[in-house]
Amino acid sequence: MADSLKETTVPTSGGHGEIKEFDAIIIGSGVTGLYSLYRMRQLGFSVRAFDDASGVGGTWYWNRYPGCRFDSESYSYGYSFSEELLQEWDWKEHYSAQPETERYLNYVADKFDLRRDIQFNSRVVSATYNEVGSFWEICLADGSRSHGRFLITSVGSFSAGYVPDFEGIDSFRGTSCHTRAWPKEGVDLAGKRVGVIGTGATGVQLITEIAKEVAHLTVFQRTANYCAPLRNGLIDAETQKQIKASYPEIFRVCMETPGSFMHEPDKRSAMDVSQEERLEQYERLWTEPGFKKWLSNFYDVMVPGKANEDYAEFVRNKIRERVHDPVVAEMLVPKDHMFGSKRLPCESGYYEVYNQDNVLLVDVREAPIERITPNGIKTRDEEYELDVIIYATGFDAITGGLINLNITGQNGVRLKDKFADGPRTYMGITSAGFPNLFTVNAASVGNFVRAAESLIDWVGETMSYLRDNDFKRIAPTVEAEDAWVKHVNEDGANILRTQANSWFVGANIPGKARALLTSPDTAPAMRAKRAEVAANGYEGFILE
């Protein structure tokens, strides 16, 4: 059995001190990064995690904007690897808000003593593969370097915030920020004239909350979205007991459903039942919390076709019922994409916001934003004077966080160049010419914690296999990668996620190649695929 590298140091004359060497380097200390660290340690690997934040949490560290919370059940989102952790942590709400989720991840970090192997305030500016030594060299913004045989990019699917390149964006004299970089101390919005650009999942949460305190709110909407009531609530003591007794069943259901959520689809077709029965189901699900109304519906609601349009019109009418002004209501009703082709934002009073006298909705498709001015936002039709501009403009999802790491593989090939026409991976988790690199953020779908645990378990088993069999590196063959990309493109063309201009296909980023950024397969199918590959001696990989 080959020995692990264990943590060592190598003197350097480069002026930046010693180079530390590890078996594995992890980038990020959010949901996936923390479990990566826990799992690698458990398997006996020396490991170091780097994070540009000052604390753990990843997404739940950075996204502190008002209203930020889960849209999947809190108890389905927690880690399952420790029964003790499951029993001693009490979720306060069915759908946890950001502060509680950040507290949970800090609790996990402390309980398992993870901080001692995390280096905070450490921004990775490059990761370069050294072919002679078969290791990754990580360079930080301060010039310091570390080496790791394996590199795990746990940077999160939504780590790269996106702000459109508006003309005059630096000229605004008021306060401005992106929701992803909300200040720890908060932003004073009371009595202010506030403009919010963006009405995706983040914008929906934010707008609902800040409308309670601002003097005037102007919402700049490009795309109307299908939104559904969250129906959140506190968890009482009796329910808490039931949840803790039900964890095995909760996780069983999550492992068997397409997106690893708690909701199983109805196996019937919406078109095979009467209209009366169909509407009865729609109405019943609409009163349920969270994603039930989306994921527990008739199975064909989730594929392009008549059932999808039937339910879409039901949701449109629900929106119309809640907005008093029929003109504003029609502005909020989505007509340009299918229900479920974008992730469903869950809300708690979002549509009622537009019934307030101090809220104005601006359709920037009809009157595009021309520039940011010193006093506010100028559209084609009017200038809106503002004290605060909030960019709820989303993320360069999945690949953006990877590209920002400046990863260079064999023969000087940059991941940025390789991904120029869309991701080129094998199973989303590895890429030819980039040995021992595991892009776990690019392979996650659905419930990220459920995905993270199974992904990292596979990565850990793969690393252990290499160590125990005296292999130095693993990378997919070009043929396996080509076949996977072909599968993603061809099978992905038939699923809902590719039918809209969304982050699922990179369409929200100007100049980004349109391609499905995740797998078209269900979570169970992906776990089975990875298991089969490993069982067949890592079929599709080159082990050296």
Q: pLDDT over 90 for what percent of the chain? A: 91
Place of tokens 């001015």: 373
Least confident of 44-58, 168-182, 304-318, 435-449: 435-449
The domains located in the chain, with CATH, are: 8-56+114-160+397-473 (3.50.50.60)
176: helix, coil or strand? strand
What pLDDT shows up at residue 8?
A: 60
Residue at 333: amino acid letter: V
What pLDDT shows up at residue 448?
A: 77
Predicted structure pTM score: 0.94
- pLDDT above 70: residue 229: yes
**Could you tell me the pLDDT band of residue 192, with boundaries at 50, 70 and 90?**
very high
What pLDDT shows up at residue 9?
A: 56
Please report the sign of the dihedral spanned by the C-alpha atoms of residue 357, residue 216, residue 323, residue 209.
negative
Give Cα separations from 539 to 33, 151, 426, 530 (angstroms).
Answer: 27, 21, 11, 10
What is the pLDDT averaged over residues 225-251? 97
Residue at 417: amino acid letter: D
pLDDT tens-digit readout, 398-455: 999 999 999 999 999 999 999 999 999 999 999 999 999 999 877 766 777 888 899 9
- pLDDT above 70: residue 457: yes
What is the pLDDT averaged over residues 507-523? 92
- pLDDT above 80: residue 385: yes
> What is the C-alpha separation between 171 and 423, in angstroms, rounded?
36
- pLDDT above 80: residue 540: yes
What pLDDT shows up at residue 447?
A: 78
Q: Angle CA(215)–CA(216)–CA(220) in degrees, nearest 5?
A: 150
> What is the C-alpha separation between 430 and 443, in angstroms, rounded?
9
- pLDDT above 60: residue 458: yes
**Could you tell me the pLDDT band of residue 511, with boundaries at 50, 70 and 90?**
very high
Angle between helices 306-322 and 275-286 (to 10 degrees): 50
* Neighbour-count burial for 104-119, b at 16+ CB within 10 Å, e otherwise: bbbebbeebebbebbe
Burial of residue 39 (CB within 10 Å: 0-12, 13-18, 19+) is buried
177: helix, coil or strand? strand
- pLDDT above 90: residue 142: yes
Instruction: Give me the count of residues in the chain.
Output: 544
- In sequence order, the 6+-apart residues with CB closer than 8 A to the CB of 3 are none
- pLDDT above 50: residue 500: yes
What is the pLDDT averaged over residues 82-103? 97
- Residues 33 and 159: beta-carbon distance below 8 Å: no
